[in-house]
Structures are given as structure tokens and as C-alpha cells.
Amino acid sequence: MKRVQDKVVLITGAASGVGKADALLLAAEGARVVLGDIDRKAGQALATEIGANALFVELDVAEEEHWQRAIDQTLAQFGRLDVLVNNAAICPLGTIEQTSLQQWRSVLRVNADGYFLGCKYAIEAMKQNEHGGSIIMMSSVAALGGLAPMCSYSSSKGAVTALTRNVAIHCKNSGYRIRCNSIHPDGIWTPMTQALVPDLDPAALGIGDNPMARMCMPEDVANMVLFLASDESRFINGAELRIDNAQMISGIAAGTPTQFKSEQQ
Ligand SMILES: NC(=O)c1ccc[n+]([C@@H]2O[C@H](COP(=O)([O-])OP(=O)(O)OC[C@H]3O[C@@H](n4cnc5c(N)ncnc54)[C@H](O)[C@@H]3O)[C@@H](O)[C@H]2O)c1
């Protein structure tokens, strides 16, 4: 028996980075995976790579009718929804002084509205399940430490973190058996980070080298997602789980030693 055998998992932002690693690991552990993304080409290619247990759905997480369609397609193809991984996000740079209202709204649209809609539609689908479900929210240490160069992003992750607690307690009070937890990684080696930190030499970060020194890899996060998706985590609800190799408690996430693009200009 695999760890998430036959569970039906919808992952947003599944075409790249962490979402892609989640999809590959969960499928390898027996799940049927629905890959939601705005990137049709990469999402469809991943579904083809995984095979019959994967379905790509075109999903802009900020659009309510897209969620209705994605849930309908999930139920039509696989019969139910057991797990939602709210993962899609965008991350433009800007301190509070550099951030325009337009940028703020465009980030909150995806990173906060999108997570709210995901929870709302997932609860509707999952509360019919005998065994409930699990909602996994991709937050960040940015929600806990501030991360000055990322004002709108950090704030959106704060909203995700508070929404997680709200959903967890609402579902518990309602007797739905739906758990909701947030994950808080530090920098992960994905296209999101690679776009923000140009000319980064992976060797300088010790990638693939000393596991205590290297940067977080998508698979490090996918292992936590697998655990939260599985019944092994049945008593973990409303939790904030850091994946940062003690970075947060060393105080680094409050500012950052990394040179971001905006600071180099
Ligand atoms: N990369 C990091 O350093 C880091 C650190 C902490 C937390 N996170 C979080 O991890 C999650 C995954 O990040 P990643 O690094 O894999 O990013 P990524 O940029 O590699 O992938 C993001 C995916 O989301 C999709 N997407 C963007 N807008 C969308 C929308 N409106 N609707 C649907 N899909 C959309 C993109 O097409 C892409 O496939 C995010 O929630 C991010 O905030 C990342």
C-alpha cells in the first residue's frame, strides 16, 4: 500500500517548481493528481509524463468560474476530491516604498484571492467525503519574518497563514474532518527564485552538497506535502510548519543577505 494510494489531489501551480515536484511524488505514492495551472503547455506535458492518473485543468486561481470548472472536471474524472494543495503564487519584488497599489492588488489577487477560492470550493467538495480531506497551503517564512524586499508577497503569505487557521477551526467546529495546515519554506531552488536572483552560482549555495548548508530543493517541500496529504498526519491541523533549516530562528528571514534584482539597481 502506497502512502496516498487512490487519493485524489488537486495541485495549483503544478506546472513548475514545487507544484511539479508535489505532483510527481504524490503520483509515485499512488495518488490521482489534478494539475491546475495557467501554463497549459507545461501542465499538459507533465500530465502526459505522469500518465493515466493525471489530469491537467486550465486554472487561473483568481477566477471563481475556473474553480467551479476545475472541481467539476476533478469529480467527473476521479469521483471525489481528497486533498487540495494551494500552491500557485507570484512573487514580484518591492519594499513598502517601492510597491504600487496596482502591484499590491495583482499579487493579492493570485496569492490571497486564489487561496480563499481554493479553500471555499475544496471544502464544498470534501465535506461530502466520509473521511474528509486535507488542505495544504503554501505560505513562506516571508509571512513570519517580514522579508523587507517583498512587501506584497509577504503580506499575501500572511493572509494565507491566517486563512489556514480560520479554515482549520471552521472545519473542526463544523465536524467536516477537513484539516488545513500551512507550510513555510525559506528560499527554494525553483524558477521563481531563479528569476529573482540573477547570476546566482548554485555551487555557492552548496546545492547537492552538504545537506545542512544547501538551499531548500522542491523535493524537500514535496516530502512535507506528501505527509500532510497522507493519513499519517491525521492529528495535525491548523499548524504552521517551517521548512528552513533553522533560518527563521537565526533571524535571517527578517531581512535577507541575498542580493535581489531590485537592490542591485
Ligand atoms: N521559491 C521559493 O523560494 C519559495 C519560498 C517559499 C514559498 N514558496 C511558495 O511555494 C509555492 C510554489 O512556488 P515555486 O517556487 O514553485 O514557483 P514557480 O514560479 O516555479 O511556480 C509557480 C507556478 O504557479 C503558476 N501560476 C502563477 N500564477 C497562477 C495563477 N493565477 N493561477 C494558476 N497558476 C498560476 C505558474 O504558471 C507556475 O507554474 C508558492 O506558493 C510560493 O510562494 C516559494
Residue nearest (by alpha carbon) to ligand 1 atom 36: 13
Instruction: State the distance from the centre of ligand 1 to the C-alpha of 173, rounded, in angstroms.
Output: 31
Minimum CA distance residue for ligand 1 atom 25 = 13
Residue 254 lies in a domain: yes
With beta carbons less than 8 A apart as the criterion, state whether 92 and 156 touch.
Answer: no
C-alpha cell at 203: 555551487
* Residues within 6 Å of ligand 1 by CB: 12-13, 15-19, 37-39, 59-62, 87-91, 110, 114, 138, 140, 185, 187-188, 190-193
Rounded to two decimals, what is the model's pTM?
A: 0.94
Tens of pLDDT along 17-56? Answer: 999 999 999 999 999 999 999 999 999 999 999 999 999 9
Here the CATH number for the domain that contains residue 103 is: 3.40.50.720
pLDDT in tens, the chain (265 residues): 999 999 999 999 999 999 999 999 999 999 999 999 999 999 999 999 999 999 999 999 999 999 999 999 999 999 999 999 999 999 999 999 999 999 999 999 999 999 999 999 999 999 999 999 999 999 999 999 888 999 999 999 999 999 999 999 999 999 999 999 999 999 898 999 888 877 766 665 655 556 556 678 999 999 999 999 999 999 999 999 999 988 888 765 444 445 556 555 4
Please count the structural domains in the chain.
Answer: 1
Domain that holds residue 65: 8-264
CA of 61 to the centre of ligand 1 (A): 12
Is 3 part of a structural domain of the chain?
no
CB within 8 A of 162, min separation 6: which ones?
none
For residue 215, tell me if it sits in a domain: yes
Q: Judge whether 126 lies within some domain.
A: yes
Sign (positive/negative) of CA torsion 151, 153, 158, 163?
Answer: positive
Residues 71-100 have pLDDT tens digits of: 999 999 999 999 999 999 999 999 999 999
